[in-house]
Amino acid sequence: MPLSRIQPDRYRALLDEKVSRVCKLLHPFLPPQPQIVESAALGFRQRAEFRMWHDGDALDYVMYRPGEPKHPIAIEDFPIASDAIRTLMPTLKAQLRESVPLREKLFQVEFLGSLTGEILVSLIYHRALDDNWEQAARHLAHHLNKGSDTLSIIGRSRGQKLIIGRDFVQERLPIHDREYRYRQYEQAFSQPNGQVNIRMVEWACERARALQGDLLELYCGNGNFTLPLSRHFQQVIATEVSKTSIRAARANVEENHIRNVQMLRMSAEEVSEALRGVRTFRRLAALPQRLDRYNLNTLFLDPPRAGLDEKTTDMAKNFSSILYVSCNPDTLAKNLYTLHKTHTIEHFALFDQFPYTDHMECGVLLQQRQH
């Protein structure tokens, strides 16, 4: 995101432009008026990453304009990052600059924060990491923590991952009358805008209250939606293809003492094949009962930007209710072209996860047409 686009005084106008574009895009599918969830204008991002620029003894965070890889722009402040990340950035840079083992061939710095204030800093290098690096990193973590344990450091190089502390942050999300605890791992997907994420999960739960039976969730990630949604269904089968995400999801189910959720490491295509009886999978043996004995009336989808493939879209048409959260309105529109033939949009929401960009998160509840 170009820093020139961060204009807090124009936030509402920029949001209105995005809302207008998405509403026009989805108009052919006759959605109701959208519920619009705004973001804070500043301090909303729990993730940030910067290349590091070395010039003699100087060291700077930098970003690049698209198509201009040889012209770095020094970043002195990043106002859309959370307060915890913004406060840490100059202190960390000063400490890195003064430490030869930590500065040498440092290529990139990544920050992963949480609403709890925990931060994970990943330092990425173009060299092997040795004992001198680990000793310096431990000293840095001790200095930055100041007696707490809220900050961890990971050093990465080709074939190496050294962890000082732990490789995740602990997140807490208050959803209606309950708080959920999540592990969010380095290099696994998590929602970058924590406060808007809470509103998205609450919206999905409010829509789920009127639904019945069992839930199938594809692309469950770390269980961001899975855990709160489980209160509204008898049984939940949640699937995810990423090893790191499914490890986090299983840990989060246990951490929150949830007993009606089964996590499976399967792709959307594999789930589609299993439901159609095209293939059998040994992983399904982990379920407490056969797949065809579940009353899977509702499908929850939160796919990547590419949206649903053709086979998954065809599978979705068989569900009475579809809760679809999309980070890409264009691929949502493409999928709705098919789904609208069998379903109507009963609820519609827009979540401004990504202020000052063209991206908009959408939520729709689709109900099967009555013939």
Residue whose C-alpha is closest to residue 205's, from 344, 333, 308, 347: 347
Measured distance CA(230)–CA(341) in Å, rounded: 29
Task: Report yes or no: 237 and 294 within 8 Å, Cβ to Cβ.
Answer: yes
Helix (H) or strand (E) holding 171: strand 168-175
Q: In which residue are the tokens 């939160």 written?
A: 302
Task: Report yes or no: 89 and 45 within 8 Å, Cβ to Cβ.
Answer: no
Beta strand 119-125 with 106-113 is antiparallel
User: Which residue among 118, 171, 240, 361 is the active-site one?
Assistant: 361
Residue type, 190: S
Determine the angle formed by the axes of helices 131-145 and 83-97, rounding to 10 degrees.
140
Measured distance CA(321)–CA(309) in Å, rounded: 19
Q: What is the length of the chain? A: 371
Known catalytic residue at 327? yes
Burial class (CB in 10 A: 0-12, 13-18, 19+), 257: exposed
Task: Report yes or no: 152 and 163 within 8 Å, Cβ to Cβ.
Answer: yes
Known catalytic residue at 361? yes
User: Which residue among 254, 327, 346, 362 is the active-site one?
Assistant: 327
Residues annotated as catalytic are 327, 361
